[in-house]
């Protein structure tokens, strides 16, 4: 029996049970896609009635943490990141709001002469160079996106991979008095390549979102970024007014 459920405090039993179950989900004790214990098992686990368990389950369903499948049982829901496309945002900040721990692994930090696509996006001259920054982002230890960022070296002299790894890209930009304030994004459905599938721990040709971003600080273009985002962990919505 779970001893954390207390009947001698003025907190509803279903709420205590719901919070314990929520902790089990968010800590990955109950992993994504796994089947929850049966109602009888949960009653025994928490020492409460079936009515209490059902109320806790309904509350978790309302939070989109679990899903009931007819004839199969109740399962931990895949945790998708929802993003409304009406304002500038960052992945890190959105994850933080959801209480999800994000880690980032730097794969590449190099100075290169960009190809014509990157050069035109950043409005650079043919002989100008960029920093190529390739990173894999993880949420709760699960890789969810690969990012390839290209930023003009002339705007950030002395920038290093260590700075980006330790502080993040946009925070590193702020050290140069560069504050990003808007972006133009395009996105489309794609199938994940063999190389990207290896980094994201999915199958080749799985569904994904290809996201291209041109980032501005005032009127200056400071970043051109191409990302592949796992289709099972991210969704976009558009607010129309």
Domain borders along the chain are 13-76, 81-237
Q: Which CATH architecture has domain 81-237?
A: 3-Layer(aba) Sandwich (3.40)
pLDDT at site 188: 86
pLDDT at site 185: 85
SS3 223: strand
Fold: same for 13-76 and 81-237 = no
For the chain, list residues with pLDDT below 50: 81-88
pLDDT at site 180: 86
- Identify the H or E element spanning 187: strand 182-191
* Yes or no: domain 13-76 corresponds to CATH 1.10.10.10: yes
Query: Which DSSP letter does residue 72 get?
Result: T
Report residue 86: phi and psi, to 5°: -135, 5
The CA dihedral of 104, 108, 111, 115, to the nearest 10 degrees, is -100
**What's the sign of the alpha-carbon dihedral 164, 170, 173, 174?**
negative
* pTM, to two decimals: 0.62
Query: Going by C-beta distance under 8 Å and a sequence separation of 6 or more, which residues neighbour residue 144?
Result: 81, 137, 138, 200, 229, 230, 233, 234
pLDDT at site 8: 80
**What's the sign of the alpha-carbon dihedral 124, 130, 132, 138?**
negative
């Amino acid at each position: 029996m779970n001893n954390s459920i207390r009947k001698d405090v003025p907190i509803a039993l279903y709420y205590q049970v719901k919070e314990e179950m929520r902790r089990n989900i968010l800590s990955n004790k109950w992993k994504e896609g796994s089947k929850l214990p049966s109602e009888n098992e949960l009653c025994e686990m928490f020492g409460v009635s079936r009515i209490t368990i059902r109320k806790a389950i309904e509350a978790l369903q309302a939070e989109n943490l679990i899903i009931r499948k007819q004839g199969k049982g109740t399962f931990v829901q895949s945790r998708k990141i929802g993003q409304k496309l009406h304002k500038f945002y960052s992945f890190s900040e959105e994850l933080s709001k959801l209480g999800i721990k994000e880690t980032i692994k730097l794969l590449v930090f190099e100075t290169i002469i960009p190809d014509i696509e990157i050069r035109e996006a950043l409005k650079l001259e043919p002989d100008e160079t960029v920093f190529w920054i390739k990173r894999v982002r993880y949420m709760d230890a699960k890789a969810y996106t690969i990012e390839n960022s290209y930023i003009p070296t002339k705007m950030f002299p002395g920038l290093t991979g260590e700075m980006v790894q330790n502080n993040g890209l946009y925070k590193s930009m702020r050290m140069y008095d560069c504050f990003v304030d808007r972006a133009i994004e395009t996105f489309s459905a794609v199938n994940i390549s063999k190389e990207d599938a290896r980094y994201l721990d999915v199958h080749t040709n799985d569904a994904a979102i290809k996201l291209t971003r041109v980032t501005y600080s005032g009127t200056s273009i400071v970043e051109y970024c191409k990302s592949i985002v796992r289709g099972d962990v991210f969704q976009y919505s558009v607010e129309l007014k």
